[in-house]
């Protein structure tokens, strides 16, 4: 059986490098400097999705203590926090958090990027096992993890709210993501 190939996306929004994200969660606010100059495709897509409201009410659906907290899957939007946890544990059949996308994929932008370092609080594009398979899902690195630097695109760094990042667990809510310093016409 042939594998369905999701198209690579080129965002309309071109980052200036001055953008930051204010991620509103049920636990509090997280401010992230976005690396628009170094990762223009990833940041451009993230800004477009945020300004369209794509991330509103999505839940964090993946967690590995001391490593990552993962969010951005649209399949979590209609689920309550307990339902996300049940689905992740396999108790809620037919619902698979972590498999949703924005309908496209993005090129990997880690190679040759001097800021591509998994530090505590780094914002990183999550992807599958294939190259160029990231889309809407992201994770926060919960520690320095240089072993991932040549496999995942780091597109931002937490500047405020690191304690909030570390308090997040499966089922916590992304209430909204606001982009500061972006042109209002980021949405195509």
| Fold designation for 20-181 | Cyclophilin (2.40.100)
DSSP code at position 147 = G
Q: Where are the alpha helices (DSSP H) in 12-53?
A: 40-51
Q: Which residue has the tokens 């072993």?
A: 147
pLDDT tens-digit map of 63-75: 999 999 999 999 9
Confidence at residue 188, expressed as pLDDT on a 0 to 100 scale = 47
Query: From the CB of residue 2, how many other CB atoms can be counted at a distance below 10 Å?
Result: 4
Integer Cα distance of 128 and 131 in angstroms:
8
Kindly give the pairing relationship between strand 58-59 and strand 68-71. Answer: unpaired
Domain-by-domain residue ranges, the chain? 20-181
Distances (CA, A) of 32 to 9, 109, 119: 23, 18, 13
Q: State yes or no: pLDDT of 43 exceeds 80.
A: yes
pLDDT tens-digit map of 120-176: 999 999 998 899 999 999 999 999 999 999 999 999 999 999 999 999 999 999 999
Please state, rounded to an integer, the average pLDDT across all residues of the chain.
93
What's the helix, strand, coil split of the chain in %, to 5? 20, 25, 55
Q: Mean pLDDT across the stretch 96-104?
A: 88
Q: State yes or no: pLDDT of 5 exceeds 70.
A: no
């Amino acid at each position: 059986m042939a594998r369905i190939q999701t198209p690579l996306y080129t965002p309309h929004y071109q980052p200036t490098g001055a953008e930051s994200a204010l991620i509103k969660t049920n636990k509090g606010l997280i401010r992230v400097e976005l690396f628009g100059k170094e990762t223009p495709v990833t940041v451009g897509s993230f800004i477009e999705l945020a300004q369209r409201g794509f991330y509103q009410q999505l839940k964090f659906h993946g967690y590995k203590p001391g490593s990552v907290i993962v969010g951005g899957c649209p399949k979590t939007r209609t689920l309550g926090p307990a339902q996300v946890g049940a689905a992740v544990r396999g108790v809620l059949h037919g619902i698979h958090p972590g498999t949703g996308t924005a309908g496209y994929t993005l090129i990997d932008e880690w190679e040759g990027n001097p800021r591509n370092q998994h530090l505590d609080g780094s914002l990183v594009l999550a992807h599958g096992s294939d190259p160029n398979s990231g889309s809407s899902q992201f994770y926060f690195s919960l520690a320095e993890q240089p072993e991932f630097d040549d496999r995942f695109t780091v597109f931002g760094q937490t500047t405020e709210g690191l304690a909030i990042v570390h308090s997040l667990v499966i089922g916590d809510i992304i209430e909204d993501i606001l982009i500061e310093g972006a042109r209002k016409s980021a949405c195509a």
